C-alpha cells in the first residue's frame, strides 16, 4: 500500500460499521483520514482517537453529504487540516425498510439523496484537484441489492443500482486523468442495519456466516492500491451472488 502512504482519504459515513473499518484500515496503510459523520459526533471522534493512538493523522468532519453546500464546506475543512483529498470512499447511506405499500415519495427521495446524490456531490467536489495532481481513487460502497431483490425495498435497489451506474460513468470519463473509480457490493455484512432486522440469521449465506466490516475494508484497500482496475464492482456476498 505504498500508493496510499502520505495521501489524504475522506470516508463518508465513517463513524461506524463498514465506514469505521475502512477509515481505520486506510490509516493503518499510512493515509491521513477524514471521518465524515452527520449525527453521531461521539462515534466519529472515537474512530479519530483510535487512529491517533496508533500514530496516524485523522479528523472528524460533520456534513450532510446530500447537501452541496455542506459537501463544499466539508472538503474545504479537510483540505485545510489534512491536505487535498486523494482517496474518496462514498460510504454514507441509509436503509429504511419499506414494503411497496408502505413506501412513500419522501422515503424514496431521501434514499436517493443520501445513497446516490451524495456520491455525485462528493465526487464532483474532489475530482478537480485529483485531475490537477494526475492521481485519485474513488470507491463507492454499493450493495448486492443493486442487482438482486434485497430485503429493504425498491427505493434502496434503485439507489444502489444508480451508484453502480455512476461508478462506470465516472470511470470511463476519468480513466485518462489517473483517477480510478470502482465499487464494492457487500451483502449481509454484520452491521447495525443487518442486526436491526434486515437478516436475523446467516442461514441463506452459502459461506454460513455474515461478512465483517473488516472484510469490506480489505476490498476497498485492494481497489485503492490497484492502478489497473477501474469501472468495476466487486461483490462480497459469501457466495450468495456472482457478478
Chain segment 4-23, per-residue pLDDT in tens: 999 999 999 999 999 999 99
Q: What is the CA radius of gyration of the chain?
A: 17
Instruction: Cite the DSSP H helix spans in 134-229.
Output: 154-174, 192-193, 213-225
Spatial neighbors of 27 by CB under 8 A, at least 6 apart, are 33, 51, 54, 56, 57, 58
Share of the chain above pLDDT 70, in %: 95
Strand order in the sheet with 32-37: 58-62, 32-37, 8-11, 87-90, 136-141, 179-186, 233-236
- Whole-number pLDDT of residue 240: 73
* pLDDT bracket for residue 201 (50, 70, 90): confident
* 184 phi and psi angles, rounded to 5 deg: -120, 135
Is pLDDT above 70 for 242?
Answer: no
Is pLDDT above 90 for 2?
Answer: no
pLDDT, the chain, mean = 93
Closest to 87 in 3D by CA, of 135, 137, 29, 127: 137
Can you give the pTM of this predicted structure? Answer: 0.94
Residue 147 grid coordinates: 442487482
CA dist., res. 110 & res. 206, Å (int) = 33
Q: Which domains does the chain have, with CATH numbers?
A: 8-236 (3.40.50.720)
CA dist., res. 240 & res. 140, Å (int) = 20
* pLDDT bracket for residue 204 (50, 70, 90): confident
Of 156, 186, 187, 216, the catalytic one is 156
Annotated catalytic residue 170: no
Contact 89, 136 (CB under 8 A): no
Amino acid at each position: 500500500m505504498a500508493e496510499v502512504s502520505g495521501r489524504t482519504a475522506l470516508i463518508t459515513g465513517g463513524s461506524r460499521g463498514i465506514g469505521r473499518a475502512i477509515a481505520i484500515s486506510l490509516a493503518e496503510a499510512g493515509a491521513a483520514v477524514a471521518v465524515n459523520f452527520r449525527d453521531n459526533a461521539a462515534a466519529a471522534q472515537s474512530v479519530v482517537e483510535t487512529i491517533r493512538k496508533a500514530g496516524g493523522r485523522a479528523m472528524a468532519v460533520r456534513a450532510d453529504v446530500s447537501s452541496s453546500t455542506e459537501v463544499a464546506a466539508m472538503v474545504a475543512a479537510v483540505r485545510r487540516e489534512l491536505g487535498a483529498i486523494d482517496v474518496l470512499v462514498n460510504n454514507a447511506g441509509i436503509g429504511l425498510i419499506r414494503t411497496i405499500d408502505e413506501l412513500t415519495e419522501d422515503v424514496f427521495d431521501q434514499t436517493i439523496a443520501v445513497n446516490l446524490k451524495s456520491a455525485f456531490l462528493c465526487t464532483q467536489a474532489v475530482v478537480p484537484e485529483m485531475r490537477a495532481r494526475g492521481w485519485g481513487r474513488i470507491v463507492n460502497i454499493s450493495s448486492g441489492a443493486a442487482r438482486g431483490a434485497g430485503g429493504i425495498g425498491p427505493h434502496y435497489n434503485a439507489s444502489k443500482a444508480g451508484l453502480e451506474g455512476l461508478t462506470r460513468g465516472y470511470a470511463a470519463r476519468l480513466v485518462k486523468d489517473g483517477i480510478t473509480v470502482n465499487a464494492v457490493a457487500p451483502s449481509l455484512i454484520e452491521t447495525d442495519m443487518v442486526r436491526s432486522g434486515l437478516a436475523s440469521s446467516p442461514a441463506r449465506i452459502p459461506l454460513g456466516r455474515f461478512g465483517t466490516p473488516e472484510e469490506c475494508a480489505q476490498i476497498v484497500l485492494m481497489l485503492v492500491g490497484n492502478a489497473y482496475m477501474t469501472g468495476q464492482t466487486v461483490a462480497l456476498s459469501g457466495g450468495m451472488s456472482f457478478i
